[in-house]
Chain A
Amino acid sequence: MTIGGYAGKILRVNLTDGSWSTEKTSEELIRRFLGGRGFCAKMLYDELEPDVDPLGPENKVVIAPGPMTGLFLPSSGKVHMASKSPATGGYGDSNMGGHFGAEIKYAGYDAVVIEGAAKRPCYLVVEDDRVELRDASTWWGKGSFETEKELKQRLGEEFQIATIGPAGENVVRYACITHDFGRQAGRTGVGCVWGAKKLKAIAVRGTRSVPLADVRGALRKGRQMFEACFSKPGFKEWTPYGTAGVTDWINEIGAFPTKNFWTGYFEHYKNINGQALRERILVTDKGCFACPTPCGKYSRVREAQRCCYVEGPEYETIAMVGGNCLLDRIEDIAYANYLMDDLGIDTISGGNVIAFALECFEKGLITEEEAGRKLAFGDLDSVLYLARKIAYREGIGRILADGVKAAAERIGGGSERFAIHVKGLEWSGYESRYAPAMMLAYMTADIGAHHNRAWAITHDVAVGRDAIEGKAAKVIELQHIRPLFDTLGLCRLPWVEIGFELEHYAEMFPLVTGLDYTWEDLLLISERIWNVVRCFNVRHIPGFGRSWDYPPARFYEEPVPTGPAKGKLISRETLDRLLDDYYALRGWDKNGIPTPDKLRQLGLEELAADLQRRKA
């Protein structure tokens, strides 16, 4: 049978010899892993040997939209990008909006797999069946924005383009990929892997139709979904401020990363919130494909020496570059955002690493001589200076470019206590010492300390922030629902932010695909994927297990010093209790390794056998 929603083919491009091939998207892969994140996890598990160097030619990048990407339904513009992460050594992925994923589908592909490594800088052009690797020497060294602009001029306006900046070229471990002048696949250093492979950009244009199992049914349901979005109060209230709109609430509950996660409250937050953005720098709302609630805020800064256009700042950038580095003007954050986007640095990891460096300087662990100048929290020039040093791996940037975990190992002096990461991935925008579910979410997020697998902080606030009971169960529930969006190729924000009901997606799925899967079936697939990723980490990271799931000492030894969460921390004993609950509910052993029974129950017999073999 033809399953609707799929373009039908997977494209593999080998950069080493410039060859490419296509294969049919296998029905078994579809039925067991759906697409997007599911394809990424399964293909990387199967195709990468444990000793693969993330920066070597054997590493691969899987770029996969999902079966619902590019369709007429709310916010269907997402694409997943994954590889063995140079930031963590484990499975790494990042999800990106814009129009890139939809275009891949319309070009006829359910995934693009990048293999090998080129000798000279190159970029990939895909236009339906035409696949070409071209010389990118002209753009090597140029920023993301200039590269995208010039490639559009050269290839045509309808091409959707993703690029890396100098940070990716210089294999900064948290380099990002930028598309549509401001959408990013930011996390886990997928851009670093592109750079190591000398891949500067991918340009895609597609003219094909995506088949639907029930065209009339999907059209009818799509209309109903948009109408439901339009009727939500949040449609009008949330959209004008986008993710930046959450800044006030996060400060009010004392969870705003401030001064390298020293505290959870920044007194100047009204100067960097969604309103400040909208009133002072906004140019236009900028949406991803088929999005009724565009959180993208396109801005312009007009200040002496600092004029720029930039998409954002998003909440995460406001938190990590703003509060965490103590920048207290939205214009300053926007300019730092622009510079880091253009250099190709993930603003989450970048903001985190820079704040870490500023604290090291403050504590005398980095000297003025080592830094090359004086550094200070709240000083925009310090932030810009460090961003450039990191992107070009110059001076202190050589150490910082490897991420906060590796940097703390080099710098020493107890700095690992305030190197804020899990598994080597820098923590994102929620200070969680008074939010046990959110803390657990960060500890157990499969790629490292990222918020999007389970944004459980709302649950903490709703049911009681001191409570521990039930928190693990909620985190697991969210860890299945939220990544399912990444698997189907959708954005979760209409559900999260305006209360658009999950039932709509459950009803749409069979109309698109023709598969009679229920929502529970889809969640089971999401759990299967979660376990594949955990097994990937067991397989690839020597000694991987429970000890990789703890936050830095600052979070269990230093009480929050100021703000609404003052005096709070989560003790090591409580962290243990949370992990015990979590592993038990997941069907993992005390060391956090999936049990053979659990894997078999999820239809992952091959992984169970693999883990057994490794044990023996």
Chain B
Amino acid sequence: MRLGVKEELCSGCRVCEVLCALVNRGECNPKLGAVRVKGLFPEPGRYQIALCDQCGECARVCPVEAITERNGVYRIDEELCTGCMECVEACPRDAMFAHPARKAPFKCIVCGQCVAYCPREAIYDVEGEVVRK
């Protein structure tokens, strides 16, 4: 599975944010989701979706090598992470997230839940393995 976005389909409902946090962190809190939707209003009137494309820049800048790749997906080892937030700064997609209640940042691990439940199919699996329910 590889995630892609079609921003022109997004209607800004943020189901992806709230579901991601619930599935991956067990909490009802969109700011713990590893995806972020931003509305560009009043003009031009469209949405941006900040979602990791697994480019690996975070792993390259991590000073303690807490971010590693397996099967094309980068994950953070929260034990090793010192919370320096260099990866948050470096992420070219603004898709590495921090939260005041957590020491370590967090990112998308391609669980595919947002693909299954995005009402607009604005987040999709490029490889077509997972589709919206």
Contact = CB atoms under 8 A, between A and B. Distances in A.
Query: A and B bound?
Result: yes
A180 B41 contact: yes
A66 B131 CA distance: 32
B56 to A, nearest CB: 27
Nearest to A146: B42
A289 B22 contact: no
A300 B45 contact: yes
A351 B1 CA distance: 51
B113 to A, nearest CB: 9
Interface string B35-55: 000110111111100000000
A543 B43 CA distance: 50
B42 A309 contact: yes
Interface string B48-76: 00000000000000000000000000000
Interface string A267-284: 000000000000000011
B37 to A, nearest CB: 10
Contacts of A283: 44-46
Contacts of B23: 219
Contacts of A218: 22, 28
Given A145-B42, A226-B133, A309-B45, A284 B11 contact: yes
A24 interface: no
B45 A226 contact: no
A210 B12 contact: no
Contacts of B26: 215
B14 A99 contact: yes
A208 B101 CA distance: 9
Nearest to A291: B13
Interface in A270-324: 283-294, 296, 298, 300, 309
A94 B41 CA distance: 24
A230 interface: yes
B2 interface: no
Given A230-B133, A284-B47, A294 B28 contact: no
Given A287-B12, A300-B45, A209 B18 contact: no
A157 B38 contact: yes
A38 to B, nearest CB: 21
A219 B22 CA distance: 7
Contact of A72 (B18, B44, B100, B101): B18
A209 B112 CA distance: 22
A513 to B, nearest CB: 13
Interface residues of A, number: 46
B13 A289 contact: yes
A158 B30 CA distance: 11
Interface string B6-27: 0010011111001101110011
B103 interface: no
Contacts of A211: 28
Interface in A425-450: none
Contact of B45 (A102, A222, A284, A287): A284
A181 interface: yes
A207 B11 contact: no
B119 to A, nearest CB: 4
A456 B14 CA distance: 32
A374 interface: no
A290 B28 contact: no
B32 interface: yes
B82 interface: no
A181 B42 contact: yes
A578 interface: no
A102 B28 CA distance: 11
B46 A71 contact: no
Contact of A290 (B13, B32, B43, B133): B13
B104 to A, nearest CB: 16
B119 A226 contact: yes
A438 B116 CA distance: 40
A27 interface: no
A112 B8 CA distance: 35
A361 B128 CA distance: 63
A72 B19 contact: yes
Contacts of B21: 209
Contacts of B46: 283-284
B14 A289 contact: yes
A210 B41 contact: no
A207 B31 contact: yes
- Kindly list the 6 A-B residue pairs having the minimum CB-CB distance in the complex, ordered from nearest: A292-B119, A287-B11, A209-B29, A287-B13, A294-B11, A209-B27
28 contacts: A70-B30, A71-B28, A72-B22, A77-B13, A145-B42, A181-B41, A207-B100, A207-B101, A209-B29, A209-B32, A212-B28, A215-B28, A218-B22, A219-B22, A222-B22, A226-B15, A226-B119, A230-B133, A284-B46, A285-B120, A286-B11, A286-B45, A287-B13, A287-B119, A290-B14, A294-B12, A294-B13, A298-B41
Given A206-B31, A226-B117, A294-B11, 16 more contacts: A70-B18, A71-B18, A71-B28, A72-B22, A77-B13, A209-B29, A210-B28, A226-B15, A227-B133, A284-B45, A287-B11, A288-B13, A290-B15, A291-B13, A292-B13, A309-B43
Interface of A: 70-72, 77, 99, 102, 106, 145, 149, 157-158, 180-182, 206-212, 215, 218-219, 222-223, 226-227, 229-230, 283-294, 296, 298, 300, 309
